[in-house]
Chain A
Amino acid sequence: MDKLKKSVESIPLPQDLHKRAKMGVSQVRKKRKKTWLIASVATLFLASSITVGAAMNDDVKNFLWYISPDLAALLEPIESTVEQDGIKMEIVSAMQDKDMAVVYVTMQDLEGSRIDETLDIYDYFMSKGRSFTVERIGFDATTKTALVRFMSFNGGSTDNFKLKIRSFLSDKSVLEDVTFPLDLQDVKEQQTELLPDGTIRGGASPGEGVYVLPTGKLNIQTQLYDGMRMTNIGLHNDKLYVQIEWPANNAIDHGQFYLVNQAGQKIHPTESYSYGRDEQGTPIYAYNYEEIIFDVKDIDLAEYELQAKIYTAGQYVEGDWEATFKLKEMRGQSVSFAMNFGDWKAKELKISPLGLTFIGEGDATETEELTATIVNKDGSHKELTSLVSLTDENQVKLKLLSEEPLKLEQIKSIMVNGIKVNL
């Protein structure tokens, strides 16, 4: 039987085996750190070589025409559709260059109203890439269809790409100026206690001692939102501690707390910790409690009140919408380029329909100001300002994404931070 073991052991291990494990872990990180992003104005970009496909779902086609005639005219649907529990996911376009992949997906609710204009893809998986982002870029109320753009960076070139959506949020809302009914001037001094190691889920660095108020018996709720309650509030060493209890089974709703005076001046917390307590109030590893700490030295609390901005989601839908498809290769060109940015020097510039990639050496971690203007042969201009860092150890790689397709054959020159680069 040793031979059976040897035969399985003879399967060679690929070089990127551990890297793939890291990618899995980084996707959890992304999910856990997910913040609420309200999608900005819809921006779409697709490469010029894509053509119309006749078999595309009419609803989707009409919707794309509505959002962007340019996009709809260029689309070649992949015709990869998956439906589960009345929610249909369709891959409408997918492309890649050397640095990134872009996938356009429609999500449609065939039975109800679970897809709306606040759709937020909460938990998803992409088989290639080291960092990921997703945003909803359009919604059509008639067909209950949302258009979503996924981007994956540093995945290397690949034939088959797998995208899986595991859960999404919708019916999201933001409650402004949620006020707690209490006078801050009545808040008393209290002792704090050290949270045991291993009970904090967010906000603290390893080895850092975190002090919070003891479990309180207050039960202060707000009129606007009853999903949380204040259980304690106290002063200690010129700091105001606020203890909030959230439902143990709801990790979605959350809030931003602040002190505000009549003039509208706000004081934001200096620290905030998410941790857990059991029914007896003993600290445990969970996320049903939050301690928000304000520095109130020299502040007259009588002039301020405690408010919060609460983010809620009425729908949290889980499922398994998965598709495997091919990415269309977007070819680009390399341009001789040298520019000194201080901490780093660029030595190469690559142009693809998806954007510009700057390659160089040095430390580009502080780089924020890198913009480019594409000057076309017909005299039109296009600004590129959306910067993504793909830097890997010693090699600097920064990508300026294009919001619309770059037609390489029409580019005359590029202005980088105001300096002209001829092609």
Chain B
Amino acid sequence: MIYIIRLIKKAQKGNEKAFLKLFQMYEADIYRMAFVYLKNEGEALDIVQETAYKAFDKIESLKEPTYIKTWLIKIAISSSLNRLKKLEKIVPMQNEYIDNMQFEQGDPTVKVLLQQILEELTSEEKGIVLLKYYEGYTFREIADTLHIPLGTVKSILYRALKKLHVQVEEADFYG
């Protein structure tokens, strides 16, 4: 973390290389989260670019370096949702993306589950599932990040997991 804090301080003084080193640690997560929302490589890459832009532009406002990842993810989620709103107004979303994606060989159920996440969940559900199971956030952290009451986070997650036919284990859910 000391290394990250050093990078953040340098980035806050305008050091681009430091910012890019920092951003590189999180760009894969940002891309994948954006992809889940937007279901399109080009759009997700636009969000990565926009997140880098906004974050570097406003990094002076980041008061607590330990929250860098949460801060970047917040920017990426908000950019994705804004983009989604605009896209839904002007063009129908493409659906052939997943067939064109180059998956590594592995468990075929993974691909099926991904398709379910992309297709069957609402944006709100996607955000909570991503933060809980991809980023490993606690319910409290999700509630704070998305500005949703704690109880609502749990009920939305429960609904999302039911849609995905994922077995809900109490220890996992309430832990």
Contact = CB atoms under 8 A, between A and B. Distances in A.
Interface in A143-191: 160, 162
A11 B60 contact: no
B133 interface: yes
B31 A14 contact: yes
Interface stretch (A23-31, A342-350, A375-383, A411-419): A23-31
Interface string A202-215: 00001000000000
Contact of A14 (B24, B33, B45, B114): B45
A299 interface: no
B41 interface: yes
Given A8-B32, A12-B103, A20-B45, A1 B111 contact: no
Contacts of B109: 3
Contact of A10 (B20, B53, B110, B164): B110
Contact of A5 (B24, B102, B104, B133): B133
Given A3-B113, A125-B53, A17 B16 contact: no
B35 interface: yes
Interface in A1-47: 1, 3-14, 16-18, 20-25, 27-29, 31-32
Contacts of B117: 4, 7-8
B102 A23 contact: no
A3 B41 contact: no
Chain A: interface size category: 35 or more
B11 to A, nearest CB: 10
B16 A13 contact: no
B48 A17 contact: yes
Contacts of A6: 107, 110
A7 B109 CA distance: 8
Contact of A23 (B27, B49, B113, B169): B49
B20 A285 contact: no
Interface string B147-172: 00000000000000000101001001
A324 interface: yes
A11 B20 contact: no
Interface in B50-74: 50-57, 60
Contacts, number: 121
Interface in A196-228: 198, 201, 206
A380 B55 CA distance: 51
A8 B134 contact: yes
In this complex, the member of A12, A32, A206 whose beta carbon has the largest number of chain B beta carbons within 10 angstroms is: A12
B60 A24 contact: no
B49 A18 contact: no
B41 A31 contact: no
B149 to A, nearest CB: 22
A140 to B, nearest CB: 28
Contacts of A3: 109-110, 113, 166
B123 to A, nearest CB: 15
B113 to A, nearest CB: 4
B36 interface: yes
Interface of A: 1, 3-14, 16-18, 20-25, 27-29, 31-32, 125, 127, 160, 162, 198, 201, 206, 285, 322, 324
15 contacts: A1-B133, A4-B134, A7-B117, A8-B130, A8-B134, A11-B114, A14-B31, A17-B45, A20-B45, A21-B27, A24-B49, A24-B54, A24-B55, A24-B56, A285-B60
Given A13-B31, A32-B14, 11 more contacts: A6-B107, A8-B117, A12-B103, A13-B32, A21-B20, A21-B27, A21-B49, A25-B23, A28-B53, A29-B16, A285-B12
